[in-house]
Structure 1
C-alpha cells in the first residue's frame, strides 16, 4: 500500500475544490473523479473478498446504525420520496456513511490484524475525499436526520449487524450509482440486477476466459 500513500500526497498538492456544476469536464480531469478512481481500485472485488471476508472469522458481523446499511434500494427510495433532493446530497451521505463504517471496522481490528493497513488506507482516502466536496448547501430535512444519526454512538440507539464485506459491497455499488459523471457506462449501476453477476464476471476476467 506504499503506492497509495505516495498518490495521496501528490494528489493533495494539486487539490482543487470543485462545484457541482463542473460536471461538464471530462471525468479524468475532475479532481473528485480522479480521487474516486483510486477508491474504486481499492474497493475492487478481490480486495473486498480478501480483506473483509477471508481475513475475518466465518459469518463475522459488526454492529452498525440502520442508516449505515446504505444500499441501492436506499438510494432509490430517497430519490423517490425526498423533495428537493440533489445528487450532491446523496454523495455526501455516501461519504459520511462510509467514513463511519470504516471507523467501526477499524475499532474491531487488532493493531496487527492483516486487514488493518487496508482499512486505514481506505479511511485516509475517504478523509481526503471530504476535502474536495462542495460546502455550504443545506440538505433536505430527511438527509439531515440521517447525518445526525451517523454522528451518534451506537449505545442507546436501535442497531443492526452486517458483515464488513457486505458494508463495503454497498459502498462500491452505491458509489457507481450516484457518481454517474465519474463512472459513465451504458450499464445501469443503480439496478441490483447489474451487480448479481459481479463475482462471476470478475472471476472470468481474472482467468482470462473468453466470453462467447
Structure 2
C-alpha cells in the first residue's frame, strides 16, 4: 500500500475542497427551490399587477445594467460561473423592485403585491447566502461581473445620462422571471411545458416579436 506524505494529503484535500466548492457554485442548491418556486408563484400574477394597474405605456427609469436580459446572460455565462451570475441577478433585481415600489403611491392597488414580491425575493436571497460557504463570497469577482457591480452600486447622480433606460414595470418583471428560470433552471425542470429560457433561440425569438 502506498503511503502518502502529509503535504501530499493536504494538497489533495485542498484540491478536493476546491473542486467541491466549484461544483456547488455552478449548481443551484436544492434549498433554493422552495423560496424560488414561491417567488415564481407571485410572478405568475405579474400581468394583472404590473401591467393592468398602470397607465398604458407607463415606464420607470432604471440603470442600463438593471435591464439584465437573457441575451446578457447568454454572453456572460461563456466567461463566468453560474454562481456569479446568480449573485448579479440578486443585486440587479433588488434595485429593480425598490424602484418599482418607489414610484407607487401608498394607496396604489399594486403596492401590496410589489411589497410581497420584494419580501419573497429577500427570503430567496437569504437562502442563497446560507446555501454557500462564506469563502465563495470573499472571492474576487470576475472582471465582467465586477464592472456591472461597480455601475449598479454607484451613486445615481454620478450615472451618465446615456446609462439610464425607461422600461415598463411589466417588461422588467418579465425579464426578472425569465432570467430566474434560466439561472436557477434546476428548480424549474419539472414545470409543465417548461421553456428553455437559457437557449439563444428563445431570447432571439422574443427579440423578433418586439420588432
TM-score by length of structure 1 reads 0.72
2:46 aligned to which of 45, 48, 70: 48
Correspondence for 2:76:
78
Q: CA deviation at 1:21?
A: 4.4
Correspondence for 2:198:
190
Correspondence for 2:56:
58
Deviations 1:57-111 (Å, cap 9, x if unpaired)?
110000111000011100011123x3xx111111111111111100000110001
Structure 1, unpaired ranges of 5+: 1-18, 198-212
In structure 2, how many angstroms separate the alpha carbons of the residues matched to 1:154 and 1:76? 27
State which structure, 1 or 2, has the greater radius of gyration over its C-alpha atoms. 2
- Structure 1 residue runs of 4+, over 4 Å off? 19-23, 192-197
Aligned CA-pair RMSD:
2.5
Correspondence for 1:37:
37
In structure 2, how many angstroms separate the alpha carbons of the residues matched to 1:155 and 1:56? 27
Structure having the higher helix fraction is 2
Kept in 2: contact 1:62–1:163 (CA 8 A)? yes
Matched, 1:172 2:182: no
In structure 1, how many angstroms separate the alpha carbons of the residues matched to 2:185 and 2:83? 11
Q: CA deviation at 1:193?
A: 5.1
Q: CA deviation at 1:147?
A: 1.5
Deviations 1:139-189 (Å, cap 9, x if unpaired)?
202102212222234333121110010001001111111112112267422
Deviations 1:172-211 (Å, cap 9, x if unpaired)?
11111111211226742213654769xxxxxxxxxxxxxx
In structure 2, how many angstroms separate the alpha carbons of the residues matched to 1:113 and 1:87? 37
In structure 1, how many angstroms separate the alpha carbons of the residues matched to 2:202 and 2:91? 25
